[in-house]
């Protein structure tokens, strides 16, 4: 994707998300930036942040999903579209990595598998990645759809 096309895409994503927020009547300000090439980061500020981040950020995830679907052609071409608010994604990643380490240590000692509660694909990927080099254990995903979860097993 050329730089000009990408700038146009960034502007389209920004317009799409702003219109979505306007129509939803949420009191949020939309900020769009490009932290690295082919990566669009949409972040939010405003009074309705608690609504966006409630229930493990379900609404934030839903908005991200809608935007990725709306721009599916660009996403398929390698453009990453990420939504965040108040540093939620970073905090969530750190929390999941810590949970993964604790689960792996427990499984390594007890030899008893540990199964996480169901989580979205992004969170499952964080768990798998955090434990990829952990000796003596392995991870796999099990379940279908909304009930998909990570299982940590002794190797």
Q: Tens of pLDDT along 18-66?
A: 999 999 999 999 999 988 888 999 999 999 999 999 988 999 999 999 9
Q: Kindly report the CATH number that applies to the domain delimited by 3-86.
A: 3.30.300.20
Q: Which residue's entry shows tokens 């955090």?
A: 130
- How much of the chain, in percent, has pLDDT values that exceed 90? 85
Nearest by Cα to 75 from 9, 21, 129, 19? 9
- pLDDT at residue 4 greater than cutoff 60: no
CA distances from 59 to 64, 72, 89, 102 (A): 9, 19, 13, 28
Q: Looking at the chain, which residues constitute the CATH 3.30.300.20 domain(s)? A: 3-86
Average pLDDT of the chain? 93
Residues of the chain above pLDDT 70, percent: 96
**Right CATH number for 90-154 from 3.30.360.10, 3.30.1370.50, 3.40.50.1580, 3.40.50.720?**
3.30.1370.50
pTM for the whole structure: 0.80
């Amino acid at each position: 994707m050329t730089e000009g096309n990408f700038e146009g895409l960034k502007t389209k994503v920004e317009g799409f998300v702003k219109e979505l927020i306007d129509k939803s009547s949420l009191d949020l300000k939309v900020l769009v930036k490009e932290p690295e090439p082919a990566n669009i980061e949409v972040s939010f500020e405003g009074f309705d942040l608690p609504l966006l981040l409630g229930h493990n950020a379900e609404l934030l995830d839903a908005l991200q999903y809608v935007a990725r679907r709306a721009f599916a052609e660009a996403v398929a071409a390698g453009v990453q579209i990420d939504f965040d608010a108040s540093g939620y994604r970073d905090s969530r990643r750190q929390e999941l990595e810590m949970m993964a380490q604790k689960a792996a240590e427990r499984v390594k000692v007890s030899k008893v598998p540990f199964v996480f509660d169901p989580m979205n694909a992004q969170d499952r990927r964080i768990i798998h990645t955090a434990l990829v080099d952990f000796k003596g254990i392995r991870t796999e995903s099990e379940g279908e759809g909304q009930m998909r979860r990570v299982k940590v097993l002794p190797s």
